[in-house]
Amino acid sequence: MKLVLYADDTNILVTGKNEEELYSKILVVTKQLDGWLCKSDLVVSTIKMVAMSFHYSQSAQLKPNIFIQNSKIAYKPEVKFVGICIMENLNWQSQIMLLSNTLNKTYYVIRALKQTVSSYILRNVYFAHFQTKMRYGIVLWGRSRESMKILSIQKKVIRMMIGLKKGESCKQKFKELRILTVTSLYVLEVLYYMKKYKGSVRKENQQDATI
């Protein structure tokens, strides 16, 4: 069991090799949680609580009943957590769709500014408003096939910034502008992550090897 806290959100991750083990662990966790809430004279809004059963598309779903303060917690196939759309089948399609809509809106903002600001400022606007949004959570979804949709939008923005026609190659322009493609940015972010958390990643890998 792992407890993840972020701002006013609390997440509990429970894993099990089969339904029986999973249900047993959930009972222990919910009992401890109910005890702590009762001892602290707290009442939670179970309507806002959501359960999710992570699984691969081809695997069977395990959804044991979960009760908190005698209220059954509903399962949902998709939730949004700190701006990231998380799906139960570990697919990032919804996140890519959400990000695509956001980046397309940013494209029109940059296009509107093109006629009134210098190329230097336009490039800075790109980094501040486009790349920051594209970079957020990229370690999670950057390896998915759907990420190519983000690359297409990125190319569209670069072509617009430098005046290329639709379909013209902008590969060299990425180098000239010193802008990383979404694929290269994903690799860079993964390297940053590995360097920052290399100790914990190595420890988890060692634990997995002993199971």
Q: Which residues are CB-contacts of 43 (< 8 A; sequence separation ≥ 6)? A: 37, 69
| Closest of 10, 53, 1 to residue 28, by C-alpha | 1
AA identity, residue 102? T
- Given this model, what pLDDT does residue 211 score? 31
Q: Which amino acid is at 205?
A: N
The H or E element that residue 10 is part of is: strand 9-13
**pLDDT for the residue 60:** 65
Closest listed residue to residue 161, CA positions, set 129, 138, 193, 139 = 129
Tell me the C-alpha to C-alpha distance, in Å, between residue 37 and each of 41, 67, 116, 131: 6, 13, 57, 42
Tell me the backbone φ, ψ of residue 181, rounded to 5 degrees: -70, 165
Q: Is 67 helix (H, G, I), strand (E, B) or coil?
A: strand
pLDDT score for 204 = 52
> In 57-149, at which residue ranges do the beta strands (DSSP E only) sit?
67-68, 71-72, 78-81, 84-87
pLDDT tens string for the chain (211 positions)?
A: 788 887 778 889 998 888 888 889 999 999 999 999 999 999 988 888 999 988 876 666 778 889 999 999 999 999 988 889 999 988 899 999 999 999 999 999 999 999 999 999 999 999 999 999 999 999 999 999 999 999 999 999 999 999 999 989 999 999 999 999 999 999 999 999 998 887 665 555 444 433 3
Neighbours of 151 (CB within 10 A): 13
The pLDDT of residue 38 is 92
pLDDT, residue 17, reads: 81
Other C-beta atoms closer than 10 Å to the C-beta of 94 total 18
pLDDT at 76: 92
Domain limits, the chain: 2-79, 92-195
Radius of gyration of the chain (CA): 22
Burial 179-209 (b: 16+ CB within 10 A, else e): bbbbbebbeebeeeeeeeeeeeeeeeeeeee
